[in-house]
């Protein structure tokens, strides 16, 4: 689990699908100030943040990665916009943990045996919930701690240069 | 590029050589198991003891290869970070640990090795690299061998002799698919190791 920032210009942002307020990208390529590129593969971004992820947008972008899952949770652009969206994965993990706990309890009460798969899933989703909760707190703290930062208008080189 | 100062480069050449050697031994043992499975008629009492002994040797071979491979994975993941790859998931410890987490071990070891491969080719922008089909193929073989082996084991445990032919065929399939799985892993270890040594910057070599 990690949060990080990247200062640069969005060079490429290919959306593969959008649903439930989330954009899923094939990749987002950033051009850094030193002319090199940095790719963020298969990231997700809430559409409020995705509105600032278009080719040519420059500023500071707030990234997260969790296991094999990546995304952009915030942006502060050179034109003064600042947007942040809290990740919601912990809710999903909690719901799945509770559903599996219910199945385990039901299997004990009704069938007099433990449903092992649900028990394993419950035991996996509890730490997953804590993990994602920690990620959300870290991401929020990272964005808030950076509130005084304003990207310079000419922070990044023009597109196509290196 | 000067590498990641928070991770020190660690020599993994010896670990890679040992892991590959033990994987080749394992291939020999799997091949032996397949031949035995095809030649020995089921329920042959006279060959029960030698076959049980062969099974024990096979288990020891698997365990030794597993320890060597996991040791190399730890070092190679560490070295991918030392080369400057940022945002790799988890840590070298987790690269090994994922193999032991139920359900997560169906996918996370694959993503770890896949990302390690990419990070060894292009540490600075590893996510720009394409996935490697060898790694996908290795993981598919590994999953098939593990799943068929587990089903065979569970059948034998629960049904005993009644499950005879089904168990035998599944066990045979597991041993058979384990051969390309181990060979592919040996190739992957060799390629990642060579790539990391080639990518290793002068700053790390001098340290």
The mean per-residue pLDDT over the stretch B34-54 comes to 81
- A38 to B125: CB separation less than 8 angstroms, yes or no: yes
**Window from A6-10, A81-85, B69-73 with minimum mean pLDDT:** A81-85
Q: Which of B90, B107, B124 sits opposite A36 (nearest CB)?
A: B124
Q: Inform me whether the pLDDT recorded for A141 exceeds 70.
A: yes
Predicted local confidence at residue B138, as pLDDT: 97
Contact residues, chain A, for B102 at CB < 8 Å: 120, 124
pLDDT tops 80 at residue B43:
no
* Arithmetic mean of pLDDT, B45-72: 90
pTM for the full model? 0.83
- Given pLDDT bands bounded at 50, 70 and 90, which one contains residue B8? confident
With b meaning 16 or more CB within 10 Å and e meaning fewer, what string describes B149-178? bebbeebbeeeeeebeeebbebbbbbbbbb
Residue A157 has pLDDT above 70, yes or no: no
Q: Can you state the angle between helices B108-121 and B133-159, rounded to 10 degrees? A: 160
Q: Say whether A24 sits in a helix, a strand or coil.
A: strand
Confidence of residue A24 (pLDDT cuts 50, 70, 90): very high
Task: Average the pLDDT over B44-53 and give the result.
Answer: 80
A127 vs B104: CA distance, rounded Å: 13
**What pLDDT score was predicted for residue B204?**
62
Ranking A1-5, B12-16, B85-89 by mean pLDDT, the lowest is A1-5
From A63-77, A140-154, B65-79, the region with the lowest mean pLDDT: A140-154
pLDDT, one tens digit per residue, over B193-203 is: 999 999 887 65
Residues 99-128 of B with CB under 8 A from A: 101-104, 107-108, 111, 124-125, 127-128
Give the mean pLDDT of A76-81.
84
CA dist A96 and A108 (Å) reads 18
Instruction: Pick from A1, A42, A43, A67 the residue to mutate for testing the B interface (most B CBs within 10 Å).
Output: A67
CB A43 within 8 A of CB A25: yes
In this model, does residue B205 exceed pLDDT 50?
Answer: yes
> Which range among A87-96, B78-87, B107-116, B133-142 shows the weakest confidence by mean pLDDT?
A87-96
What is the spatial distance between Cα B70 and Cα B93, in angstroms, rounded to a whole number? 10
ipTM surpassing 0.90 = no
Question: Do residue A120 and residue B125 have CB atoms under 8 angstroms apart?
Answer: no
Cβ distance A27 to B128 less than 8 Å, yes or no, reads yes
- Across chain A, mean pLDDT equals 86
Whole-number average pLDDT of chain B: 88
% of chain B at pLDDT higher than 90? 58
How confident is the model at residue A111, as a pLDDT?
A: 85
Element holding B152 (H helix, E strand): helix B133-159
Tell me, what DSSP letter sits at residue B56?
H
Indicate the range of A13-22, A84-93, B110-119 predicted with least confidence. Answer: A84-93
pLDDT over 70 at A88, yes or no? yes
- Determine the pLDDT at residue B206: 56
Beta strands A82-84 and A69-77: pairing type? antiparallel
| Residue of chain B with shortest Cα separation from A28 | B128
At residue B135, the pLDDT reads: 96
pLDDT at A14 over 50: yes
B77 or B3, which is more confident: B77
Domain A2-87+134-145 has CATH 3.30.1360.70: no
d(C-alpha B100, C-alpha B174), whole Å: 20
Distance between CA atoms of residues A17 and A2, nearest Å: 24
Span B5-34, mean pLDDT? 91
Residue written as tokens 């385990």? A104
Contact A118, A103 (CB under 8 A): yes
- pLDDT for B160 equals 66
HSE (side-chain half, CA atoms, 13 Å) at B162: 5
pLDDT value of position A25: 93
Domain spans in chain A, listed from the N-terminal domain onward: 2-87+134-145, 89-127
Q: What is the pLDDT of residue A68?
A: 81
- Res B163 pLDDT > 70: no
Cβ neighbours, 10 Å, residue B97:
18
Q: How confident is the model at residue B142 (pLDDT cuts 50, 70, 90)?
A: very high
- The band of A155, judged by pLDDT with boundaries at 50, 70 and 90, is very low
Tell me what percent of the residues of chain A surpass a pLDDT of 70: 93
């Amino acid at each position: 689990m990690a949060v990080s920032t990247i200062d640069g210009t969005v060079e490429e942002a290919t959306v593969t699908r959008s649903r439930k307020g989330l954009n899923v990208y094939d990749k987002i390529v950033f051009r850094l100030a030193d002319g090199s590129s940095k790719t963020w593969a298969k990231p997700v971004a809430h559409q409020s943040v995705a509105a600032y992820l278009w080719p040519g947008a420059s500023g500071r972008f707030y990234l997260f990665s969790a296991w094999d899952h990546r995304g952009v949770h915030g942006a502060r652009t050179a034109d003064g916009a600042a947007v942040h969206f809290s990740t919601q994965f912990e809710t999903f993990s909690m719901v799945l943990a509770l559903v599996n706990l219910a199945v385990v309890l039901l299997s004990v009460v009704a069938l007099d045996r433990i449903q092992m798969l649900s028990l394993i899933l419950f035991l996996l989703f509890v730490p997953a919930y804590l993990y994602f909760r920690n990620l959300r707190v870290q991401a929020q703290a990272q964005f808030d701690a950076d509130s005084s930062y304003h990207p310079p208008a000419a922070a990044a080189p023009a597109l196509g240069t290196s | 590029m000067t590498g990641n100062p928070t991770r020190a480069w660690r020599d993994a050449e010896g670990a890679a050589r040992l892991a590959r050697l033990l994987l080749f031994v394992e291939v020999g043992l799997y091949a032996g198991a397949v031949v035995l499975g095809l030649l020995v008629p089921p329920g042959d009492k006279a060959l029960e003891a030698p076959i049980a002994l062969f099974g024990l040797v096979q288990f020891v071979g698997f365990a030794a290869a597993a320890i060597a491979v996991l040791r190399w994975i730890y070092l190679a993941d560490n070295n991918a970070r030392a080369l400057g790859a940022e945002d790799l998931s988890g840590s070298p410890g987790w690269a090994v640990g994922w193999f032991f987490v139920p359900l997560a071990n169906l996918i996370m070891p694959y993503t770890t090795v896949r990302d390690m491969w990419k990070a060894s080719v292009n540490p600075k922008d590893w996510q720009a690299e394409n996935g490697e089909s060898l790694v996908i193929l290795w993981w598919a073989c590994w999953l098939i061998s593990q799943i068929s082996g587990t089903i065979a084991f569970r059948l034998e445990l629960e049904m005993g002799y009644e499950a005879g032919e089904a168990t035998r065929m599944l066990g045979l399939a597991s041993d058979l698919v384990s051969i390309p799985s181990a060979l592919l892993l040996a190739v992957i270890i060799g390629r990642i190791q060579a790539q990391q040594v080639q990518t290793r910057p002068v700053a790390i070599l001098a340290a």
